[in-house]
Chains A and B, each alone.
Chain A
Amino acid sequence: MTTAVNTLSSLDEPVRRRSFVSLLFAGPATVAGAIVIAVVAVFALCAPWIAPHDPNFQNLPAAFKPPSWLQGGTATYLLGTDDLGRDIFSRIVWGARVAGIVGLSGVAIGGCIGVALGVIAGYFGGIVDDVIARIADVQFAFPAVLLAIAVVGVIGPSLLTVVVTIGITGWVQYVRVVRAETLSLRERDFVQAAVATGASLTRILLRHVLPNVSSSVTVLATFGLARAIILESALSFLALGVPPDVPSWGTMLADGRQFLDTDWWLGLFPGLAIFVTVLGVNLFGDGLRDALDPQSR
């Protein structure tokens, strides 16, 4: 990513260059976003060591324990327990892993499809471009959640289905942006020079086109990550997401829904986890976009 950024900035603005990192973390909002992402990442990577309890261990006598700071709460269960006596904090920590896996792989699949189609459409143009544009139009008019529900409903819920579903519903944004950028890159001198010197097609696309669309793709991917996390929890909320034994924020929220009037912490904390994570990713994405594209400020 850094190389791409350097390529871009050296092309466009050789004077008065600030380092990318200082540009990125100029605003407190971006820093806050980065901190949230870092915390979630640590939760996801080190879940077995951070979580005080087994996320699936059911301790029925300890069911519905309120958070530790409320009356009746104990220090053993920081954020209380759910209807089956499972530790909510431990489940949230493990849930970060599901959110991370689903988010990153969903974005990877959608990004790869979208960038590949976008580069092809923009570089070759003509009928290839038309066909890809038409397919994108169809995908665009198809409500993602409905498509996701249909796919998951038919194939059956599993982590893999959710990842694939999020991937195949999230590629359209990349196509539009990458296609437009490739269109203009194709006419640029350095690409024309590469064509003239007989560089192979693969080389032109991989060496000259792809690095120059990577900054927009990075920004799109960040917002795609936020979308993937929301979509995963929405699917889990509709009981079409990951299997029940996998601790997911969406599933926790759905389970906690029926106990809202008395035991609100069952639904509040997983919801907060989703909200804060998505907020963090969006904040970071905004900062990233501003740093990569000063025009958008």
Chain B
Amino acid sequence: MTAFLVRRAVGAVWVVVGVAVTVFLILHLTGDPAAVMMPPDATTEQVAAFRHNQGFDRPLWVQFGSFAWSALRGDFGDSLRHGEPALGLALERAPASLELAFSALALAIVVAIPIGVLAALRRNSLLDFVARVFALIGQSAPVYWMGIMLILVFGVQLGWFPVSGIGGLSHLVLPTITLGLFTMAQLMRLTRSSMLDVLKSDFLRTARAKGVRPLALLWHHALRNAWLPIVTVIGTELVALFSQAIITETIFSWPGVARLAVQAIVDRDYPIVEVVVILAALAFVGVNMLIDIFYSLLDPRIRYS
């Protein structure tokens, strides 16, 4: 287990380093940062001075070295727009994003898993049909259109929920549904098919034959085995969730990290873009490592070596 964890940790570090290099190269190779960051009416001398101040006139590998060295110590440079440390700005926005992401993920799990299980148990029933149609719709409806339609119906027409900004629980409702829907659809499909696989298995037939009570059968025998693929997908869904959070936060004027990143890209505020992307990658590898550990708890047959 320890050896496995060490190997996973090395892999995780590589992913974060790779993401850092990628975002750095994208930002620095695809145009002169000084030219895009300075106002259009800046004189040549001003641009040159800015370039020198920011160190953009040094060779690329030197720039990356100093970026990486500072980043290791938690210093991602100051935001070019706000003049404050980029890391601080991103962390300031993180709770809002986490609140939205967790409530969306929780909603998806709470709705999708029971319905997916029931749909598998009652295959070809009305519930199964409705669940499948719902999953298909959830997977096909673009996040931003869903958000806009929810705003139109529940915000504008019915006036039940506020449509922008952060506040009490009522502010959370529409963004949570918007963000959670796609993940919910994915999870529902996967839970259903994963349960169907388990229900077909020999060990379940044996358990049923020896008279295990239905609820125990479901809980100890079926679900225990259906969990693995479901948990895996929850881990990989996180990146998709982040992508969709960008749009959800934009639509609902949610003051989160994703919206900060979009604004920073528009403003060419490179330090913020770098820090947000790296934080997202850290969160992703962190959660996926936790899931690997979780596996061995769920399934004692998995012995990492």
Contact = CB atoms under 8 A, between A and B. Distances in A.
Interface of A: 134-135, 137-138, 140-147, 149-151, 153-155, 226, 230, 233-234, 237-238, 253, 257, 260-261, 264, 267-268, 271, 274-275, 278-279, 282-283
Contacts of A153: 265-266, 268
B242 A146 contact: yes
Contacts of A144: 239, 243
B-side interface size class: 35 or more
Given A137-B15, A154-B31, A257 B148 contact: yes
Nearest to B262: A149
With most chain A CB atoms within 10 A of its CB, the pick from B16, B19, B140, B242 is B140
Interface of B is mostly: helix
B281 A142 contact: yes
7 contacts: A137-B18, A138-B18, A144-B239, A145-B244, A149-B262, A234-B142, A274-B142
Interface stretch (B149-157, B217-225, B297-305): B149-157
A144 B18 CA distance: 15
Interface in B98-126: none
A137 B14 contact: yes
Nearest to A277: B140
Interface of A is mostly: helix
Given A142-B22, A145-B246, A150 B144 contact: no
A109 B50 CA distance: 38
Interface of B: 11, 14-16, 18-19, 22-23, 26-27, 30-31, 36, 136-137, 139-145, 148-149, 151-152, 156, 236, 239-240, 242-244, 246-247, 250, 258, 261-262, 265-266, 268, 273, 276-277, 280-281, 284-285
B245 to A, nearest CB: 9
Contact of B261 (A146, A154, A253): A146
Nearest to B243: A145
Given A151-B30, A238-B247, A238-B250, A282 B139 contact: yes
